[in-house]
A and B are shown apart, each in its own frame.
Chain A
């Protein structure tokens, strides 16, 4: 069951979900473009891989803390269900260009940011190792 891990995931998710909700309150317009969800998702797409593959290794964080931050906080901070329902809502309102932009930016921007984060994490790790070798 992994009760301890579940509680760690849940408590970090608590804050991730609340932060997503608050950013949505500020940025999402009820009938307009879902800027809040888009911002949250793009931030998470970059930060999760970067944290998991650089910060965690660099700071020697425990597996449990990494799980809580990655699966808990960022998993709950970002959302796919709101993305798809937001997009369907734009279709229902016949806002075709907003629909195309929203899906396009999410789909392409999300993966590009994750690729960039992974690439950057690898580069920084190599540089850190090289500096370590030089000492």
Chain B
């Protein structure tokens, strides 16, 4: 049962990420802004959710499922690799450090906001 909650949550989160990426493709920029914003908003929300201590099924559905499917680590690194191969070293470094630096900050901010 919990497995189904996680699975359906992940499906919803991934569809939301796909739709946002599709809309964001119209913005021509070399910086992968959509994935960047998805990962930051997802980190903030999961921080909040973790501090809120909802019931376990709800946490599994929203946290492990929806937010786990919404945010992504593989696309982040795939985009970083492409920036490196296209010799966009400044964007590579900016995307790399901003994602991790701000990701940790907003997760902490979400956590303290939810306490």
CB within 8 Å of B: which residues of A?
2, 5-6, 9-18, 20-22, 24, 41, 44-45, 47-49, 52, 67, 70-72, 74-85, 87-89, 91-92, 103, 106-107, 110-111, 113-115, 117-118
Contact = CB atoms under 8 A, between A and B. Distances in A.
10 tightest CB-CB pairs across the interface, nearest first?
Answer: A17-B10, A13-B14, A44-B74, A84-B107, A78-B73, A10-B11, A114-B77, A48-B74, A114-B81, A81-B46
A52 B115 CA distance: 41
Interface in B1-33: 3, 6-15, 17-19, 21-22
B74 A75 contact: yes
A129 B108 CA distance: 49
Contacts, number: 189
A118 B83 CA distance: 11
Contact of A16 (B8, B42, B69): B69
B95 to A, nearest CB: 10
Contacts of B18: 5-6, 9, 67, 71-72, 75
Given A13-B13, A17-B9, A47-B74, 8 more contacts: A9-B14, A17-B7, A17-B14, A75-B72, A78-B73, A80-B71, A81-B71, A84-B43
Contact of B72 (A24, A80, A88): A80
B39 to A, nearest CB: 4
Nearest to B112: A88
Contact of A107 (B8, B63, B96): B96
Interface size class of B (residues with CB under 8 A): 35 or more
Nearest to A7: B15
DSSP majority for the A interface? helix
Nearest to B102: A84
Interface of B: 3, 6-15, 17-19, 21-22, 39, 42-43, 45-47, 50, 60, 63-65, 67-78, 80-82, 84-85, 96, 99-100, 103-104, 106-108, 111
